[in-house]
Structure 1
Amino acid sequence: MADKDLEARHLETLDRDLGRFSGLELATSRVARRMAGPGIAFLFIVAAGLVAALFLGGTGDGLIVVIAAGFGAYMALNIGANDVANNMGPAVGANALTMTGAIVIAAIFESAGALIAGGDVVETISKGIIAPEGIASSDVFIWAMMAALLASALWVNLATWIGAPVSTTHAVVGGVVGAGGAAAGLGAVNWASLGTIAASWVISPVLGAMIAAGFLWFIKARIIYQDDKIAAARRWVPMLVGIMAGAFAAYLALKGLNQLFHTPLGTAALIGLCAGVATWAVMIPVIRRQSEGLENRNRSLKALFNIPLVVSAALLSFAHGANDVANAVGPLAAIVETSRHDGTNGAVVAVPLWVMVIGAFGISVGLFLFGPRLIRMVGSEITKLNPMRAYCVALSAAITVIVASWLGLPVSSTHIAVGAVFGVGFFREWDTERRLRKARVDMPDRDWLSPEERGRRKLVRRAHVSTIAAAWVVTVPASAVMSAAIFLAIRAIAG
C-alpha cells in the first residue's frame, strides 16, 4: 500500500513538472512569435545598410550613409505598418478582401507605385520648411537629415504601437523642423508653411468626412430606401462606379504619375472625365448581368460594390507608394548626394535606384509584419463598414485630393481616409436617429429604447476619436522635439 502511495506521489510530481514544462514551452512559443516580426525587421534594416555599403564602395562618408540607410529602412517599415492601413482597411472591414489578400495586393501596388512613379527628384529641405542657406555645412546638414529621419520613424513607430494612424508626411516635416531649427535656429523655419500644414489637420478629415457622408446619403436615398432596390441599383451603380473610375484616373494623374510626366489640374480632370464616361458605359451591361436573380434586399446590393472596392484599394496603394515613399527615401537621398558631392545641401538631387528599392520593399515588409493591426482598426473598430460604406470612404479619398488641389489646400491622405471613416459612421448615427424619430411619431404605442440605452449603442467608437485626434495634433511637435534632441546628441558625439 505504501509503495502505491509513493508511486502515486511520484506520478503527481511528474505531472506537475510536465505541466510546468508545457507551460514554459507555450510561453516560449508565444514570445518567439512576438519577436519574429521585430527580428525580421532588424534583418531588413541590416540588409539595407549592407546594400548601401555595396553601392557606395569606399567613399569617405560611407559609414554615415550606411547608418542613414538603416534609418531610411526603419522609416519605410513604419510607413508600411501605419499608413497603408488607410488604403486597405475599408476593403478588409467590408469583407471585400481577406487580410492576406489585402497584404498581397498592397505589397505589389505599393512597390510598383514607389518604383515606377516614386519620383526622380526630391527637394532635400522638405519643400521649403527650412531655409537651406541657414545650414552651416554639409556635415551639419547630414546630421540634421539623419536626426529628422530617425525621429520621424520613432514617432510613427510609437503611433502604430498605440493604434493611431498618423500622417508620415507630417512626421517627416516635424523632424526636419526640429533638426533644422536646432542646426540653423528657429529663424530659419518657414512658419507660413507650417501654418498650412496645421490647417490640414482640420481641412483633410472634414473634407473627407463630408464627401464620404454625402455619397452614403446618395446611395441610401437613391438605392437602399427605394422599393425596387435592384432596378435602382441598375440605374445608379454604373454611374457610381464611373465616378470612382474618373476620380481615380484624375487622382493618379495628379498624385501617382506626376513624377513621370507633369499633369496640370485641367488635364487630369479631362483624363478623369474620359475614364469615368468610358467606365460608366462599360458597367451598364456588367451590373445588369450581376444583378440578375438578386433578391430585393440590402444584402444583395453589397456584391455589386466588391470589385470596385478592391480595384480602388489597389489604386490607392499605387498612389500612396508613389508619393509617400519619399518620406523614407527623401532625406536618405539627400544624405547620399551630399556625401558624394560636398555642399549640395538644399539642392534638388537625384534618387539612386537602390535607395528607391529600400523604400519600396521596406513599405511592403512593414505592411506584412505589422500592418494587420491598424488595418483592422481602420476597417472595423472605428465603425462597422460594408462594401457600400467602404466604397464611399475610398471614393472620398480620391475626390478630396482633387478638390484640395483645385483649391490649393494642403491635405493628408491619412487624415482624409480616417476622416471619411468617421464621416460614414457619424452619418449612420444621424440617419438612424432621424429614422427612429420618424418611427416614434408613426408608432407611438411601441416600446422604444431609452435615450441612455441608445447612447450606449453609438455606431462610432468615441475612444478612437480622441486617441487619433490627439496623435494628429501632437505629430509635428513631438517629432520636432525628438529630432532636435537627436541632432544635438549627434553633434555632441561627432564633436
Structure 2
Amino acid sequence: MAQNDLEARHLDTLDRDLGRFSKLELATAYVSRPLVAPGIALAFVLLAGLGSLMAFGQASNGLVVAIAAVFGAYMALNIGANDVANNMGPAVGANALTMGGAIAIAVIFETAGALIAGGDVVGTISKGIIAPESLGTQQVFIWAMMAALLSSALWVNLATWIGAPVSTTHSVVGGVMGAGIAAAGFSAVSWPTMGLIAASWVISPLLGGLIAAGFLWFIKARIIYRDDKIAAARIWVPVLIGIMAGAFSSYLALKGLSKVIKISFGTSLVIGLLIGLACWMVMIPVVRRQARGLENRNKSLKILFGIPLVVSAALLSFAHGANDVANAVGPLAAIVQASQSGSVTEAVSIPFWVMLIGAFGLSFGLFLFGPKLIRMVGSQITKLNPMRAYCVSLSAALTVIVASWLGLPVSSTHIAVGAIFGVGFFREWDAERRLRATQGAAPERPRVASDERRRRKLVRRSHVMTIAAAWVITVPAAAFLSGALFLMLQAIGG
C-alpha cells in the first residue's frame, strides 16, 4: 500500500511538472506569435536589398540602390497592410468571403495587376510631381526620392498601427513634394500636376460614391423592390456580371496586351464588349440553376450575388495592384534610372526586379498585417450585405481602372471609402423617402421624431470625421517628414 501511495505521489508530481511545461510552451507561443509577421517582413525587406545588389551589379551607387530597394520594399509592405483592406473589406464584411479566401484572392490579383499593368502610373509618380532638373545634381535627386520613400512608408506604418485607413497615394505624393521643396524650394514642384492630383482626391470619392449609389439604386429598383425578386434576379444578375467582365477585359486588353501588340482604346472597348456579352450569356443558365428553390425574399438574393461580389473583389485587387504599385516603386525606379545613367531628366524605364519588389511587397503586407483594417473597412462604417458590397467593389474598381488608364495616381482609399459612404447615404435617403411615402399614405400612423431619425442613421458619423481628418493631415505630415529626412540624408551623405 505504501509503495502504491509513493507511486501515486510521483505521478502527481510528474503531472504538475508536465502541466507547468505545457503552460510555459503556450505562454512562449503566445508571446512569440506577434513577432512572426514582423520577422517575415524584415526578411523580405533584407532580401529585396540583397536582390537589388545582385541585379544592379557592382556600380558605384550599388549600395544606395540597395538602401532604396529596402525602403521601397518597406513601403510596399505598408501599402499591402493598409490600402488593400479597401478592396477586400466589403466582401469580408458582407460574409461573402472568409478572411483566408479574401487574402488568397487579393494576393493573386494584386500581384498580377502590378506586374501586368503597373507601368503608366509609376512614370507619373516618379517624374510628374517634381521637376527633376530643378534639383540640380544626381545625388540631390536620389536623396529626395529616398526621403520620399521612407517618409511615406513611416507615415503609413503609423496609420496602420493605430487602425486608420489613410491614402498611401497621399503619403507618397506628399513625400515627393516635401523632399522637392526641401531640396530646391517651391519651384521644384510641378504645381499643375499637383493641382490635377489634388482635384482627383476630391473627385474620386465623390465619383466612387455616386457610381456605387447608382448601382444600388438599380439593384433595388429592378430586383429588391419587385414582387418576384428571384425572377428579376435571374434577368439582371447575369447582366451585372457581364458589365463587370467587360470592364475587366477592356482594361486587361489595353494594359496587358499592349506590351505585346498595339491596341487602341476603341479596340479594347470592342474586346470588352464581346467578352462581357459572352459572360452574360454563360451566366444566364448558371444563375437560373442557383435560383431554383430559393424563397422570394431578400435573404435569398445574397446567394445569387455571391459570384458577382467575389469577381468584383478580384477585379478591384487587379486594378489596385496596377495603380498603387507606383507608390512603392515609382521613386525607386527613378533612383535606379538616375544611378544607371547619371541623368535625372531621362525617361524612367522600370526594371522587372523593381516591379517584383512592389508586387510581392503588396501581397506580403496584406497577408501579414491586413486583417485588422479589412475588418474595420468591411463592418465599422456601415452595414454591408452582398448586394451593397458588390456595388462598392464594382464602383471602386471602375473608378480605379479609369484613373490608372489615364496615368493619374488617385487614392484607392478615397474611392473605396467614398463608395461605402455612397451606399450608406443612399440607403438613408431611400429609407427616409419610403418612410415619408408610407406616412403620407397612412396619416393615422404616428410620425417618427427627429431625434429618433438621427439615431437610425445607417452611416456612423464618427467615422466620417475621423477618416476625413486622416485624409487632410496625411499630405502635410508626409511632406514635413520627408523634408526633414532629406536634410538628414543630405547631411549624412555630404
- The answer to whether the superposition gives a TM-score over 0.5 is yes
What are the residue-to-residue correspondences of 1:125-204 with 2, within 5 Å? 126-204=126-204
Looking at structure 1, the residues matched to 263 and 167 of structure 2 have their Cα atoms a distance apart, in angstroms, of 25
Deviation per CA, 1:88-122: give whole Å up to 9, x if none: 11111111111000111111121222233333995
TM-aligned CA deviation for residue 408 of structure 1? 10
Partner SS for 2:305: helix
Q: Does 1:419 align with 2:430?
A: no
TM-score, with structure 2 as normaliser: 0.88
Structure 1: tracts of 5 or more residues without a match: 1-17
What are the residue-to-residue correspondences of 1:342-381 with 2, within 5 Å? 343-381=342-380
What are the residue-to-residue correspondences of 1:102-113 with 2, within 5 Å? 102-113=102-113
Relative distance call for 1:262 and 1:158 in structure 2 (3 A) is farther
Relative distance call for 1:55 and 1:276 in structure 2 (3 A) is closer
The equivalent of 2:228 in structure 1 is: 228
Looking at structure 2, the residues matched to 468 and 252 of structure 1 have their Cα atoms a distance apart, in angstroms, of 32
The equivalent of 2:485 in structure 1 is: 486
RMSD: 2.9
What are the residue-to-residue correspondences of 1:315-354 with 2, within 5 Å? 315-341=315-341, 343-354=342-353
Looking at structure 2, the residues matched to 347 and 279 of structure 1 have their Cα atoms a distance apart, in angstroms, of 43
The equivalent of 2:282 in structure 1 is: 282
Is this contact kept in 2: 1:429–1:459, CA < 8 A? yes
Looking at structure 1, the residues matched to 406 and 146 of structure 2 have their Cα atoms a distance apart, in angstroms, of 34
What are the residue-to-residue correspondences of 1:425-444 with 2, within 5 Å? 425-443=424-442
Identity of aligned residues (%): 74
Q: Does 1:304 align with 2:299?
A: no
Looking at structure 2, the residues matched to 260 and 177 of structure 1 have their Cα atoms a distance apart, in angstroms, of 35
TM-aligned CA deviation for residue 218 of structure 1? 1.3
Looking at structure 1, the residues matched to 121 and 208 of structure 2 have their Cα atoms a distance apart, in angstroms, of 29
Looking at structure 2, the residues matched to 37 and 45 of structure 1 have their Cα atoms a distance apart, in angstroms, of 12
The equivalent of 1:53 in structure 2 is: 53
The equivalent of 1:36 in structure 2 is: 36
Matched residue count: 478
Relative distance call for 1:316 and 1:227 in structure 2 (3 A) is same
Relative distance call for 1:484 and 1:282 in structure 2 (3 A) is same
Looking at structure 1, the residues matched to 314 and 228 of structure 2 have their Cα atoms a distance apart, in angstroms, of 32
TM-aligned CA deviation for residue 401 of structure 1? 4.5
Q: Structure 1: which amino acid aligns with 2:453?
A: R
What are the residue-to-residue correspondences of 1:257-272 with 2, within 5 Å? 264-272=264-272
Q: Structure 2: which amino acid aligns with 1:307?
A: I
TM-aligned CA deviation for residue 82 of structure 1? 1.3
The equivalent of 2:466 in structure 1 is: 467
Q: Structure 1: which amino acid aligns with 2:211?
A: I
Partner SS for 1:226: coil
Relative distance call for 1:410 and 1:142 in structure 2 (3 A) is closer
TM-aligned CA deviation for residue 435 of structure 1? 2.0
Deviates more, 1:278-287 or 1:250-259: 250-259
Is this contact kept in 2: 1:113–1:317, CA < 8 A? yes
Q: Structure 1: which amino acid aligns with 2:421?
A: F
Relative distance call for 1:364 and 1:26 in structure 2 (3 A) is same
Q: Structure 1: which amino acid aligns with 2:214?
A: G
The equivalent of 1:84 in structure 2 is: 84
Relative distance call for 1:252 and 1:380 in structure 2 (3 A) is farther
Deviates more, 1:209-218 or 1:58-67: 58-67
Is this contact kept in 1: 2:201–2:414, CA < 8 A? yes
Relative distance call for 1:42 and 1:407 in structure 2 (3 A) is closer
Partner SS for 2:96: coil
Relative distance call for 1:470 and 1:256 in structure 2 (3 A) is farther
TM-aligned CA deviation for residue 437 of structure 1? 2.6
Partner SS for 2:348: strand
Q: Structure 2: which amino acid aligns with 1:351?
A: I
Looking at structure 2, the residues matched to 96 and 121 of structure 1 have their Cα atoms a distance apart, in angstroms, of 31
Partner SS for 1:379: helix
Relative distance call for 1:405 and 1:49 in structure 2 (3 A) is closer
Looking at structure 1, the residues matched to 153 and 375 of structure 2 have their Cα atoms a distance apart, in angstroms, of 22
TM-score, with structure 1 as normaliser: 0.88
Looking at structure 2, the residues matched to 210 and 351 of structure 1 have their Cα atoms a distance apart, in angstroms, of 35
Relative distance call for 1:272 and 1:56 in structure 2 (3 A) is closer
